[in-house]
Amino acid sequence: MGLQNSKQLFKHAIENNYAIGAFNFVNLETLSAILDAATELNSPVIVQCSTGAIKYAGIKEIAAMVQAKADNLQVILNLDHGKTFEDCKNAIDNGFTNVMIDASSLPFEENIALTKQVVEYAHSKNVTVEAELGVLAGVEDEVSASSDDAKYTNPQQAKEFVERTGVDSLAIAIGTSHGTHKFAGEAKLRFDILEQIEALLPGFPLVLHGASSIPQDMVKLAEQYGAKLKGANGIPEEMLQVATTKHNVVKVNVDSDLRIAFTAGIREILNTKPETVDLRDYLKQGKKYVTEVVKNKMISVFNSAHKA
């Protein structure tokens, strides 16, 4: 076990009707919380960093932390939303086992050209590649798009894109969005588009970004201790269950859920123990809540527990 690329893990997930959670981390505490859940549940897991997290923590430090903790687990270390060939090459050269090149905001032919360049380099290093077609609305870390810019993935273009780039997995836009406020009204995912893509790309690994559920118990806890998250909402877990257990969605990105859980734990301790100046007191509480959220995803949403 240890660090792996996505090829065999995604194949196993499709064959056994589950998905692998892709959880963003920015420091040792959030990484440890995610891997603690994976260890307890014997679940494969994807840990991932955006370019913003890499700027914050350092790419060599990130890779070393994951490598030190991944020995007895099935772990993919993924670059989330690389924007340039250089972003992806830097991650590959520093030990990442999967990279996402996000050229979805570019014209179709430019997206193909850049993705193909990344695929050729990555595959020469035994690294797998995710790309994106279609544009998600919302803001998270260094990724942003207005609702006017958002557009669903075109199924015919998805088929052509995969065939021409040789990419290993594809992030599609079917109604998810980045950030903590995903829907102004009723939540809706375009399962009809998902089914059309699957018909054209049978057995091909698909990915959902912007798929946090925004657990309301963590929202309420964070707000109880001063957070301002009014109206925060996410993708209903029931919808994600359908996507991951009845379709070929094998990777689901989760970031906002973990941010809220970690923030709730820190706020709770700083409010209930105002005398503490021990960072471990509040970091441990944040870590505890992140682990709880990740475990719930693995058991109740992604069906990945005991699949490693």
Residues labelled as active-site residues: 80
Per-position DSSP letters for the chain, written without gaps between them: -EE--SHHHHHHHHHTT--EEEEE--SHHHHHHHHHHHHHHT--EEEEEEHHHHHHH-HHHHHHHHHHH-TTSEEEEEEEEE-SHHHHHHHHHTT-SEEEE--TTS-HHHHHHHHHHHHHHHHHTT-EEEEEESB-EEEETTEEE-TTT-BPPPHHHHHHHHHHH--SEEEE-SS-EESSB--SSS----HHHHHHHHHHSTT--EEESS-----HHHHHHHHHTT---TT-B---HHHHHHHHHSSSEEEEEE-HHHHHHHHHHHHHHHHH-TT---HHHHHHHHHHHHHHHHHHIIIIIS--TT--
Six token digits for residue 264? 């709730």
Residue type, 142: E
Residue type, 174: I
